[in-house]
Structure 1
Amino acid sequence: MYVSALLAFGDSFMEQGNNNYINTLSKANFLPYGKDFLGGKPTGRLCNGRTLCDFLAEALRVKNYLPAYLDPLIEDKDLQTGVSFASAGSGLDPLTSTQTSTIPISTQLDMFKEYVGKLKRNVGVETANNIITNSVVVVSIGNNDLLLSLPYRRLQYDVPTYSNMLVKRVLNLTQEIYMLGVRRIVVLSTPPIGCLPAVRTIGGGPQRACVDEENNVAQLFNNNLKQQLQLWTTTVPQSKVAFIDYYGTLMSIIENPQKYGFDVVDVGCCGTGEIEFSILCNKLAATCENHSKYFFWDSLHPTEKGYNVIVNHIIEDLVNALF
């Protein structure tokens, strides 16, 4: 198994700090985010420490930390082993990024094209092409569309139609990435969004139960996405796509927390854990005493331990699909 670089696209599960450099409220470049990251440095990762991208880069033997592409301190050698183009709050539907003032997936693709140009100038066309060919792209996208934009789009679309539109946009993204030379692509399904602590708080009633309606929408999208990606792969030569069941992985952890070393899976560690994320999870929000027992850091995103457990859970399927 040889991976030259890891390249990440999508939303907050892939965010490594790009939003620090744009005008948006969807940021995490302040404590307590990053309190366990390299001596307590908030970087824009929506976590107390390392993220899904970091652990994937390590598991694929690329590097231990995946930088944000927009980081002005990034060095040429960092580009050669991969970056994240992702933006917390982003989506497939243009309305999503408009609502959150974040980097839409179309712009992330433009950033990737710019990245390829930089790589060719830095190391030469042949070496750059080899890096791209031997890279792995990981995509997490669609979560914010289902949570934020679908309620507004219901006047235009029913749920299956909207889901189909999003899946087509994922396929278009996959095609564009392939056309730029990438041959190994990982696509994460959406998680059980109805079980995210903030969603439980808003729609789960007095008991803060998982919201079935949200989870059903996510499952519809995921089933369609998996089917269409499998079809796409059969028509595209030399491509390998790993569809990763992020939904099933998180649901397994949420339903069997002790099995994975967690005690608390219905609230985050930051503040009350019921609603705080991004600017609401700040230095005025106290954090839990022992975050190793919590799966969620804020009300939407896992802890460093949570991400580590996720990657350990999915890495075998990912490697088997790509290599």
Structure 2
Amino acid sequence: MDRSLIPSSVVLRLMLVLTMVCWKTKGAVELPPNLWVPAVLVFGDSIMDTGNNNNNTQTLAKCNFPPYGRDFQGGIPTGRFGNGKVPSDLIAEELGIKDLLPAYFDPNLQPNDLLTGVCFASGGSGYDPLTSKMATAISLSGQIDMFREYIRKLEGLVGEDRTKFILANSIVLVVEGSNDISNTYFLSHAREVQYDIPTYTDLMVSSAASFFKEIYQLGARRIGVLSAPPIGCVPFQRTILGGIVRKCAEKYNDAAKLFNDKLEKELASLNRNLPNARMVYLDVYSPLLDIIVNYQNYGFKVGDRGCCGTGKIESAVFCNPLDTTCQNVGDYVFWDSFHPSENVYRKLVPPILQKYLYQFI
């Protein structure tokens, strides 16, 4: 066949598909039989944000400055809320897809990046729309808009059929809830006058379910939803509410556990009612709490303070170039007063993936 007769658009699509296959990296997690994951797509908050907040001049929830990124490639602060890679990156790495998951708003984002996944997460966001508004973060509805635009771009690269295939087989991850409970409900009291914790967690779950159904309608099928973590045990909450000995704030943890129970049941209900849906509840609460409480068993020396500054209250703009940092972040469970260190994420991500991946089949 004369190659000159093949439309250039078809050639481009073939090249992009081949690139998607060739760019696979060697993952550490053993995938279950018959599970092929072409891309990772991530929605959520600062745990997953890989730089979408960098150019948002209205928010304080950003970290594209030192000492953030101290242990990242080249020591560059990229907008990741930590000293190095965040779970978005590590999940893509462990699945053998690519080493880093770029932010959708990364100005250097390349067309090839779209084929293997991007991150839509925004630090400060939450399931409750008020949470994102208070933090001037990109709300879940805003992240949906980014997702729609992503789909249009992907269709332009590989066509509608291939796009549907990528969306249906990709693993889509959602991480929200911490900011709702800790910031909107307890810290700012913005919802405390309207709701008690049972009714507020109902609001959170209702908003979460609407979001899951919306990304399902847009083509996502394998949707992994991470539980809320033990929020009361992060250094900031210990400092504010834990007294002289800085104990964990149990009312925060109790709220997280109640939300998690409802979230797991809601996901099971959605799976029963949405054809071909694989919505998987991923428990992060229990393994992270075990690391925090039994930190020495995991090789850490400090479990109740972060590496940045005093480690008790500093985070985001309050963890900045004027602050000193610990000499060896490998000794610390937390990087700042809210976010775990890369070493903790590396201990969490592989076993969580290995435990739950089979549920996406």
Q: Do both proteins adopt the same fold according to a TM-score greater than 0.5, normalized to the shorter chain?
A: yes
Moved more, 147-156 or 288-297: 147-156
Contact 1:187 1:244 in 2 (8 A): yes
Which whole-Å CA distance do the structure 1 matches of 2:299 and 2:99 have between them?
A: 23
Q: CA deviation at 1:318?
A: 2.2
Residue in structure 1 matched with residue 160 of structure 2 by the alignment: 125
Which whole-Å CA distance do the structure 1 matches of 2:332 and 2:104 have between them?
A: 30
Residue in structure 1 matched with residue 60 of structure 2 by the alignment: 25
Q: 1:218 aligns with which of 256, 281, 284?
A: 256
Q: 2:226 aligns with which of 188, 191, 198?
A: 188
Correspondence 1:147 to 2:182: yes
Q: CA deviation at 1:246?
A: 1.0
Correspondence 1:5 to 2:39: yes
Contact 1:21 1:71 in 2 (8 A): no
Which whole-Å CA distance do the structure 1 matches of 2:299 and 2:357 have between them?
A: 24
Q: CA deviation at 1:189?
A: 0.5
Residue in structure 1 matched with residue 147 of structure 2 by the alignment: 112
Residue in structure 1 matched with residue 82 of structure 2 by the alignment: 47
Residue in structure 1 matched with residue 7 of structure 2 by the alignment: none
Contact 1:263 1:293 in 2 (8 A): yes
Which whole-Å CA distance do the structure 1 matches of 2:166 and 2:96 have between them?
A: 14
Which whole-Å CA distance do the structure 2 matches of 1:317 and 1:234 have between them?
A: 21
Residue in structure 2 matched with residue 272 of structure 1 by the alignment: 310
Residue in structure 1 matched with residue 99 of structure 2 by the alignment: 64
Q: CA deviation at 1:115?
A: 0.5
Q: CA deviation at 1:259?
A: 2.4
Letter in 2 for 1:85: F
Q: Which runs of 4+ in 1 moved over 6 A?
A: none
Which whole-Å CA distance do the structure 2 matches of 1:258 and 1:17 have between them?
A: 32
- Once the two structures are superposed, residues 251-306 of structure 1 have per-residue CA deviations (whole angstroms, 9 ceiling, x without a partner) of 11112212222121110001110000001111111111111111110010011111
Which whole-Å CA distance do the structure 2 matches of 1:88 and 1:265 have between them?
A: 23
- Once the two structures are superposed, residues 213-256 of structure 1 have per-residue CA deviations (whole angstroms, 9 ceiling, x without a partner) of 11111111011111111111111121112211111111111122
Letter in 2 for 1:313: P
Normalised to the residue count of structure 2, the TM-score between the two structures is 0.88
Which whole-Å CA distance do the structure 1 matches of 2:269 and 2:56 have between them?
A: 37
- What is the SS of the residue equivalent to 1:137? strand
- What is the SS of the residue equivalent to 1:229? helix
Structure 1 vs Structure 2: percent identity of aligned residues?
48
Contact 2:271 2:278 in 1 (8 A): yes
Q: CA deviation at 1:314?
A: 0.8
Contact 2:270 2:279 in 1 (8 A): no
Which whole-Å CA distance do the structure 2 matches of 1:55 and 1:176 have between them?
A: 26
- What is the SS of the residue equivalent to 1:139? strand
Q: 1:74 aligns with which of 99, 106, 109?
A: 109
Residue in structure 2 matched with residue 138 of structure 1 by the alignment: 173
Normalised to the residue count of structure 1, the TM-score between the two structures is 0.98
Correspondence 1:282 to 2:320: yes
Which whole-Å CA distance do the structure 1 matches of 2:128 and 2:274 have between them?
A: 25
- Once the two structures are superposed, residues 199-218 of structure 1 have per-residue CA deviations (whole angstroms, 9 ceiling, x without a partner) of 11111111110001111111
- What is the SS of the residue equivalent to 1:20? coil
Residue correspondences, number: 323
Q: 1:252 aligns with which of 272, 290, 297?
A: 290
Contact 1:133 1:183 in 2 (8 A): yes
Letter in 2 for 1:294: Y
Contact 2:47 2:175 in 1 (8 A): yes
Contact 1:249 1:313 in 2 (8 A): no
Which whole-Å CA distance do the structure 1 matches of 2:309 and 2:245 have between them?
A: 19
Correspondence 1:102 to 2:140: no
Letter in 2 for 1:175: K
Contact 1:270 1:286 in 2 (8 A): yes
Q: 2:203 aligns with which of 165, 169, 184?
A: 165
Letter in 2 for 1:289: Q
- What is the SS of the residue equivalent to 1:74? coil
Q: CA deviation at 1:119?
A: 0.5
Q: CA deviation at 1:320?
A: 2.2
Q: CA deviation at 1:126?
A: 1.6
